[in-house]
Amino acid sequence: MSGRLAIVLHSHMPYVEGFGTWPFGEEWLWEAMATSYLPLLDILDGVPGGRDVTLSLTPVLCDQLAAPGAGERFLAFLRDVRRASHRLDVDGCRASGRDDLADELARAAWDYEWAADRFRALPGQDLLAALAPHAAWCSSATHAVLPLVATDGGVRLQLRAGIDAHRRRFDAAVRGGHGWRGGLWLPECAHASWLDPLLEEAGVHATCVDLTDVFGYGDARHLRPLRTDAGPLLVPIDRQTMELVWSADGYPAHGHYRDYHHRTTHDHHPWAVDGSVYDPERARARVRVDAADFVARTRERVAGGGLAVCALDTELLGHWWYEGVWWLRAVLEECVAQGLELVHLDDALAHGDPEPAAPLPPDDRRVTSWGTPRDLSTWDAPGVAELAWQMREAELRVVAAGADADPRAVRELLALQSSDWAFMVTRELAGTYPVERAAGHREALDAALGSVGSSEPTVRHLAPHATAAPLLEP
């Protein structure tokens, strides 16, 4: 029996709305909207098979998309920043005799004009509402690495705040009004067996895990969901399938594609990976080749049956990999042409036959993640130990405050627990920005616990319905 493919797109953005602009801050959100989320919407809504793509939206991303004034600031960014920055680079290239680069930059500027027109055409200019029918999977409130949370109550807070927010927003719209079916993206795929009862308690029926180092790369067991003793299904992501795309020598590394790392003065990308001036038609031709190759290799991978789960960050498609959304469209078309069944992950799990739980991981003191390496060192190694300690110490102080804890302290705790700050420090992605952000949330939490009535919360729109109640349960 031939197997199936599930494409899972995990959509997440650090809580940057209202926190800085260029080079670090809410510009990241506007870029993701323009280059990933809006183009993806056309695939989900308008391409056969698009509704079988499994979309995960984190609550912290949704909080930002729903923030008052976010749409107006997004349009202002496209109009006042991106239009001007392209013009500056075009003029600079022409002045230096590089008309070939200038022509490509002028063409690329229209991507942002398209995004502005596409956003204005949305009913109510509401991107979140447009994504709602596809918002099948949720996540914890602020993308905390759950095995690093100090208490069961802290895990409950992250899960409950995230799931409640997701259901408030999407239950009436997602997949024909059937509501959330229990799929939860574990932040960073960070799993430990002691989390399973808490996941089950929160209503989680399935979550994705990375068991590459448990089963071994390419093992057929990655193609079979596993049922835990506590109840939730563990769905292995399949590295053999994913790394066709997401690896140092994956498809985006081909010389015909646009080079994300080679930038102009004003942060644009007119070069291809092979160093030539970027040619979109040449890249589109390569997309067809790589999409056909992906589907053919996936068919071979699941020829003996099973479910290959290809999980990718949504922002890889369009933002990091300029041609990624084109590639996704071509993959959907190739699945039909080559006879590979693409299935929504919820549907696959509803009708599947999971294997009994294996000892995952063999030692309960170990955890798995999709970090590098596949443990927690990205978030708790010596270089970020201070952040990890501050997060846990702050949680214990909020728990100690009990029912008297100011709701502001709860929300600042959620912000502090985000996996993004340590990730950015470890990867050296954003200078001092993540350390400063964590420090700001810690200071605001201190003020809230000190009952300083005049202190202003730093979290304007984050987790508005979160309370301390889950922290206080036995």
Complete DSSP assignment for 46-84: HSTTGGGSEEEE-HHHHHHHTSTTHHHHHHHIIIIIIHH
- Name, of 86-95, 444-453, 456-465, the range with top average pLDDT: 86-95
Domain count, the chain: 2
Encoding tokens for residue 281? Answer: 């038609």
The residues, ordered by sequence, that sit 6+ positions from 97 with a Cβ below 8 Å of its Cβ are none
Integer Cα distance of 313 and 318 in angstroms: 11
CA-nearest of 141, 355, 372, 363 to 234 is 355
Residue 277 per-residue DSSP state: B
Reported as a single tens digit per residue, the pLDDT across 97-135 is 999 999 999 999 999 999 999 999 999 999 999 999 999
Range of the domain at 411: 377-472
**Residue 396 lies inside a defined structural domain of this protein:** yes
Residue 191 per-residue DSSP state: B
Question: Same structural domain for residues 153 and 192?
Answer: yes
**Residue 366 lies inside a defined structural domain of this protein:** no
Q: Say which of 27, 152, 201, 313 is annotated catalytic.
A: 313
Cβ–Cβ under 8 Å, residues 136 and 52: no
Reported as a single tens digit per residue, the pLDDT across 219-252 is 999 999 998 888 899 999 999 999 999 999 999 9
Hey, how many other C-beta atoms are within 10 angstroms of the C-beta on 178? 12
Average pLDDT over residues 154-161: 97
Cβ–Cβ under 8 Å, residues 408 and 441: no
- pLDDT range class, residue 366, cuts 50, 70, 90: low
**Domain holding 396: CATH number?**
1.20.1430
Question: Same structural domain for residues 140 and 175?
Answer: yes
Amino acid at 395: E
Edge-to-edge strands, sheet with 206-209: 206-209, 233-236, 226-227, 355-356
Predicted local distance difference test score (pLDDT) of residue 334: 98
**Residue 464 lies inside a defined structural domain of this protein:** yes
Integer Cα distance of 148 and 8 in angstroms: 25
- 31 has catalytic annotation: no
Instruction: Kindly tell me if the per-residue pLDDT of 260 is higher than 80.
Output: yes
**Domain holding 305: CATH number?**
3.20.110.10
Encoding tokens for residue 387? Answer: 């952040």
Predicted local distance difference test score (pLDDT) of residue 72: 97
The residues, ordered by sequence, that sit 6+ positions from 390 with a Cβ below 8 Å of its Cβ are 416, 438, 442
- pLDDT range class, residue 352, cuts 50, 70, 90: confident
Question: Same structural domain for residues 8 and 82?
Answer: yes
Strand-pair partners of 145: none
Instruction: Kindly tell me if the per-residue pLDDT of 444 is higher than 80.
Output: yes
Question: Same structural domain for residues 337 and 415?
Answer: no
Question: Same structural domain for residues 435 and 312?
Answer: no
Reported as a single tens digit per residue, the pLDDT across 263-295 is 999 999 999 999 999 999 999 999 999 999 999
**Residue 208 lies inside a defined structural domain of this protein:** yes
The residues, ordered by sequence, that sit 6+ positions from 140 with a Cβ below 8 Å of its Cβ are 58, 59, 146, 158, 159, 161, 162, 184, 186, 187
Question: Same structural domain for residues 411 and 303?
Answer: no
Integer Cα distance of 114 and 287 in angstroms: 21
Instruction: Kindly tell me if the per-residue pLDDT of 453 is higher than 90.
Output: no
Q: Say which of 31, 52, 188, 375 is annotated catalytic.
A: 188
Can you point out the beta strands (E) in 58-186?
135-139, 184-185
- Let me know if 165 is exposed, middle or buried by CB neighbors in 10 A (0-12, 13-18, 19+): buried
Question: Same structural domain for residues 276 and 415?
Answer: no
| R_g of the chain, CA atoms, integer Å | 22
Predicted local distance difference test score (pLDDT) of residue 353: 73
**Residue 363 lies inside a defined structural domain of this protein:** no
Instruction: Kindly tell me if the per-residue pLDDT of 50 is higher than 50.
Output: yes
Average pLDDT over residues 157-162: 98
What pTM value is reported for the model?
0.96
CA-nearest of 132, 96, 107, 17 to 64 is 17
Q: Which residue has the tokens 């929504």?
A: 344
Integer Cα distance of 138 and 157 in angstroms: 15
Question: Same structural domain for residues 266 and 397?
Answer: no
Q: Which residue has the tokens 């795309």?
A: 245
Strand-pair partners of 207: 234
Encoding tokens for residue 373? Answer: 């390496």
Instruction: Kindly tell me if the per-residue pLDDT of 346 is higher than 70.
Output: yes
- 188 has catalytic annotation: yes
Exposure string for 51-77, b = 16+ CB within 10 A, e = fewer: bbbbbbbbbbbbbbbbbeebbebbbeb
Question: Same structural domain for residues 405 and 319?
Answer: no
Question: Same structural domain for residues 383 and 351?
Answer: no
Reported as a single tens digit per residue, the pLDDT across 319-342 is 999 999 999 999 999 999 999 999
Looking at every residue in the chain, the average pLDDT score rounds to 94
Q: Which residue has the tokens 């939730």?
A: 232
Exposure string for 189-226, b = 16+ CB within 10 A, e = fewer: bbbbbebbebbbbbebbbbbbbbbebeeeeeeebbbbb
Predicted local distance difference test score (pLDDT) of residue 244: 98
Predicted local distance difference test score (pLDDT) of residue 1: 56
CA-nearest of 340, 338, 273, 261 to 307 is 340
Predicted local distance difference test score (pLDDT) of residue 237: 98
Question: Same structural domain for residues 287 and 412?
Answer: no
Instruction: Kindly tell me if the per-residue pLDDT of 365 is higher than 60.
Output: no
Dihedrals phi, psi of 118, to nearest 5 degrees: -65, -40
**Residue 367 lies inside a defined structural domain of this protein:** no
Question: Same structural domain for residues 212 and 100?
Answer: yes
Predicted local distance difference test score (pLDDT) of residue 455: 54
Instruction: Kindly tell me if the per-residue pLDDT of 364 is higher than 90.
Output: no
- pLDDT range class, residue 454, cuts 50, 70, 90: very low
**Residue 368 lies inside a defined structural domain of this protein:** no
Predicted local distance difference test score (pLDDT) of residue 2: 79
Integer Cα distance of 257 and 146 in angstroms: 36
- Let me know if 377 is exposed, middle or buried by CB neighbors in 10 A (0-12, 13-18, 19+): middle
Instruction: Kindly tell me if the per-residue pLDDT of 360 is higher than 60.
Output: no
